[in-house]
Amino acid sequence: MSSVTVPVAESPTRALAPVVSARNLRVNYGAVRALDGVDFHVSPGEVVALLGHSGSGKSTLMKALTQMAPATADELRIGDTDVLAQRGKDLRELRARVGNIFQHFNLVPNLSALSNVLTGGLYGAGPSNLVGLFPRRQRARALELLDWVGLEDKARQQTRTLSGGQQQRVAIARALMQDPELILADEPVASLDPRLAGSVLALLRRIARERDIPVIVSLHVVDLARRHADRVIGLHSGLVLYEGPAADVDDDVVVAIYGEGGEFDDSDAGA
């Protein structure tokens, strides 16, 4: 497999300190090298798409950022925090600074959209939350966020009655309720039809642009990464085979990341 190196474009945010920096990040599961020494950074306000076949290490990379995978690294930082040095309460605090968005939304189906969003603020809000008494300012903020994601009229509705796209918007509002420094979205549109996929990714992009929160998003469709990400990291067998602007992901880059069969050929997945 050839590797393609494309110079990273100067972006306006590049002079700012990175939100995430990783050097020689490794994760082994027994004999499986899920991440085999990867280097990357994420700058304020950018959307970074992870591409690669099933088993290439996308989810593992995201999990490693909050010690949800057994990682080692020469350097792994979120802001000024040394991720791998955190334990106990410090680790819980670090995790609360990172918002997660999942393929299957992970909402509580019998709770209202508003209650689901409020759970995003649980860590920071003190003991009243333990009995379900959210302070008024938290409820106001949750309603504001539901408004921002376009669901102001669904606040009282149980999330199981919402469409997939609407449920993912609730999950995004819940992540924002944490006031995160970083958002990790692991295949957030894999369960959505293409039109909804575009609108959810556009919303993630607005989060990066308007709120200056960088987003790392794993995707299975190259074209979605081209349209909605600033930068692409292409993984294969735990190695970075491409890192560069999303706009430069052409056929050669697709072959470099996925092999000759392209993105929809999983025959060498995990190889």
Ligand X SMILES: Nc1ncnc2c1ncn2[C@@H]1O[C@H](COP(=O)(O)OP(=O)(O)OP(=O)(O)O)[C@@H](O)[C@H]1O
Q: Contact residues for ligand X (CB under 6 A)?
A: 29, 32, 34, 52, 54-60, 270
Q: How far apart are CA 205 and CA 187, in angstroms?
A: 15
Which residue sits closest to Mg ion, CB atoms considered?
59
Smallest gap, in angstroms, from Cβ of residue 189 to Mg ion?
13
Give the helix/strand (H/E) hosting 199: helix 194-211
Smallest gap, in angstroms, from Cβ of residue 182 to ligand X?
18
- For 1-59, the DSSP string reads ------PPPP-GGGGSPPSEEEEEEEEEETTEEEEEEEEEEE-TT-EEEEE--TTSSHH
* 264 contact, one of ligand X, Mg ion, none, CB 5-8 Å limit per kind: none
Cβ distance to ligand X smaller for residue 45 or 234? 234
Cβ distance to ligand X smaller for residue 43 or 56? 56
Asked if residues 46 and 214 have their Cβ atoms less than 8 Å apart, the reply is yes
The residues of the shown chain that bind Mg ion, judged by CB under 5 A, are 58-59
Asked if residues 4 and 29 have their Cβ atoms less than 8 Å apart, the reply is no
* 236 contact, one of Mg ion, ligand X, none, CB 5-8 Å limit per kind: none
Give the β-pairing of 231-236 and 215-218: unpaired
* 221 contact, one of Mg ion, ligand X, none, CB 5-8 Å limit per kind: none
Cβ distance to Mg ion smaller for residue 26 or 211? 26
Give the β-pairing of 20-29 and 71-72: antiparallel
Q: How far apart are CA 36 and CA 6, in angstroms?
A: 21
Cβ distance to ligand X smaller for residue 52 or 214? 52
* 54 contact, one of Mg ion, ligand X, none, CB 5-8 Å limit per kind: ligand X
* 56 contact, one of ligand X, Mg ion, none, CB 5-8 Å limit per kind: ligand X
Smallest gap, in angstroms, from Cβ of residue 187 to ligand X?
6
Smallest gap, in angstroms, from Cβ of residue 187 to Mg ion?
6
Smallest gap, in angstroms, from Cβ of residue 242 to Mg ion?
18
Cβ distance to ligand X smaller for residue 60 or 166? 60
Closest-CA residue to 100 (of 158, 26, 176): 176
Smallest gap, in angstroms, from Cβ of residue 136 to Mg ion?
39
> 10 Å Cβ neighbour count for 163?
12
* 128 contact, one of Mg ion, ligand X, none, CB 5-8 Å limit per kind: none
Cβ distance to Mg ion smaller for residue 60 or 167? 60
Asked if residues 43 and 13 have their Cβ atoms less than 8 Å apart, the reply is yes
